[in-house]
Chain A
Amino acid sequence: MPAVDPIERQIRHVRRRRNLHELQRGLFLLIATATGSAAALVLLALRASERLFAAATWSLVGAVVVTAAFLARELGRRWVARDRAAAWIDARARLRGRLTTLVALRARAAGAPHAALRERTERAPRAALPHPPELAFLPLLVEENRARLARWRPEHLVRRRVPLAALVAALAATSALLIAVLLAPRLRPSFPEIVYSDEPVAGAEADAARGATPDRVVVAPRREEAARRHGRNAETPVAGDGDGAGEDDSTLARVSSGLQDRIRRELWGREWERARDAMARAERDAARSARAGRAPGTHAGASGDDRTDSDDGWETAGLPSARHGGRRPSAFGAARTGRATDADDAEAAARGLGEDHDTTTVSSGSGEPAPGAGNETDPNLFGAPTELDPHGRDTFELAISAPVRAQRAGSRRATGEPPAADADGHPELARAAHTEHAIRRMPVPPAYEAIVREVFAHHDVAPDTHP
C-alpha cells in the first residue's frame, strides 16, 4: 500500500494552520471589541454625565462579555479537532469523502483483528502488502488521496496566515483608543480659576446669573476658624460633578463613578481633580445658601447654621472674574496681599508680591500683619491635602504657601491680581524678619509627610522671644 504519511502530515499542517488562523481571528476580534469599547468609554468618561457614563459603562461591559462569549463559541465551532480534520478538509477541498473514508478506515484497521497482520507487513516492501479482503480497495483510496494532495495544501484551504479583516478591526479600534487618549486634554472643560485664601471670603459675590459657572473660585477658611486653624485640613469627600441629590449610591454606580473619576484624573491630571473638588464645594455652598434664602453669590459659610452644617471648616465662593469687570470681594484682600495661591500655578502665590515687592509689609490696610507673616500660623500652609497613601511609594506635592516675601528682582508675569496697595505700617518688623523665598511645592515621599509637616509647622511663641 502506498504510504499514507504524507497525507497524515498534510492533515496536521492544515489543521494547525486553520486553528491558528481561527485563534488569531478570535483574539483580534476580542481586542477590537475591547479597545473599541475602551475608546468609547474614555470619550464618554470625559464628556458624558455620570448617569450616562454609568449606563454606557455597564452596557459596554455587557456587550464585551457577550461578544467574548460569542467569539469563544464561534472559536469552538470553527476549531478543527483532530477527529474532525479529515472531514473538514474533505468538505473544503471537495474530495467527496475520500480523505474521511481513508482516515476512518485506517483508524478502524488499527483496532481490527488484521492490525497484527498489518503491523507485521508494514515492514515488508510496500508493493507486497497484503490486505484483508474487505479492504481491497484501500490502496486505491490511498493512491487517489495522494494524487489529490495538491488540492488541499494548507495555503489553499487557509489562504492567509493572519485574518486581515480581524487584524484591521483590532488596529482600527486600538487607533481609536489612542486618538481618544490623545484628544483627551482638548476635551477638558474650562474650570474657573481656583484661588486659595487664608482669609474668610465674607462679602464675596458671585456672578449675577444663578447657576452660571463662576470664573474664579476662592477657597478659604471660615472666619471663626481662620484664627485657630493649624495643621492640615480634614479632607471631606467631595462628590464629583454628578447630579447631586439624584445620585445612585449602589455599588455599580460607585464603581462606574470611580472609573470615570479615574479616567479623568489620569487624562486631565490632578489639577482637574482639585478644580472639580472646589467646584463641587462651591456648588454645595451655593445650594446651601439657596436653601437658606440668601442670595446665591454671597458668602455661604458665614452664618452660624452653615457653620454647623459644614464639616470641614472651609468655605467656597464663586467669584466673578476681575478681568470681566466683576466686583472684587472684600475678602479677597488676602489674595491682594499675596496670600491667595492658585493651586494650578505656584507662581501665583507670589505674583502679588512680585508686583508689589517694594511694599513688602504684610499689612492689608488694617495695620494687622498678614497671617503667618509673623508668628501666626498660616492656615493654608501646606495647601490642599493629598490623597496619596502615606505608606505608599508614591510622592505627594506639598504646597507651602507661607506668607513669604519674594525678593526677586526683575519683571514679573502679569497675574491679574494687583499687589497690596497699602504701605507697610511696620517696616521695622519687616527688616527684622528673615529673608524668605517662596517655596511653593516640592515632592516629598509620603512617609516623610508627618515629619515635614512637623518641621514646617508654626508654633505659638511668646512675643518677647521674637527677634
Chain B
Amino acid sequence: MDLSSNLILVIVVTSIATFASRFLGILTAEKISDKSKLFDWFNCVAYSILAALTARMVIFPAGALLESTLLIRLIVISISIAVFIYSKKNLVLPTILSFIFFTILSSIN
C-alpha cells in the first residue's frame, strides 16, 4: 500500500475509535435523567478523569513538554492559576501569559 492511502486509513481508524466513545455515551445517556444518581456518578468520574489526564500531562508529559523541567512547568502553571483567580476568572490572560512565560523560560534554559 502506498503511503498516502495508508495515512488516510490511519486517520479513518483514529476517527472511528474516537467517535465510538462519544456515540456509546449518547446511547447510554438516552435513559438517564440529569437528576439521577447514575448521572451524578458519571459526572464525578468525568471530572476525575479530566483531572487525572491534566495532572499526567504536567507531571509525566509527552512530546514537546519533555524538554522542560518539572519545576519550570509548576512555576508557570502556578503563576497562570494565580492570574486566573485574580482576574475574576479570565481565561484569555493566563493562557496567553503561560505561552509567553514558558517560551521565554525554555529559551533561557
Q: Do A and B bind each other?
A: no
**Partner-B contacts on A (CB < 8 A):** none
